[in-house]
Amino acid sequence: SDLPCNEDALAIYRRTGDRHGEGWTLTNLGAVYQKLGRLEEAIGCYQDALAIYRETGDRYGENLTLANLGLAHQKLQ
């Protein structure tokens, strides 16, 4: 499954202080949670990723994550 790989990657990025990698892995992890129907966990990942993208000025990541966040909220309704 993609879940353990992304969780491992997230731990490594956090340990090494790689904010860019952390943001992208949170977005990927959110997508995995969303596919599994774990929408609240997906939303949490997307919100954390969004904060990192805004902190680092990654406009592409911010855009992608806002779209994913909107879809997850829509499915949660």
| Tokens found for residue 75 | 């499915």
Q: What is the pTM of this model?
A: 0.92
Residues 26-48 pLDDT 10s: 999 999 999 999 999 999 999 99
Q: How far apart are CA 50 and CA 66, in angstroms?
A: 7
pLDDT of 1 strictly over 70: no
Half-sphere exposure of 14 (CA within 13 A, CB side): 10
| Tokens 């997906």 sit on residue | 42
Residues 53-63 pLDDT 10s: 999 999 999 99
Angle 23-1-41 (CA atoms, 0-180°, nearest 5)?
45
pLDDT at residue 77 in the model: 84
pLDDT at residue 76 in the model: 87
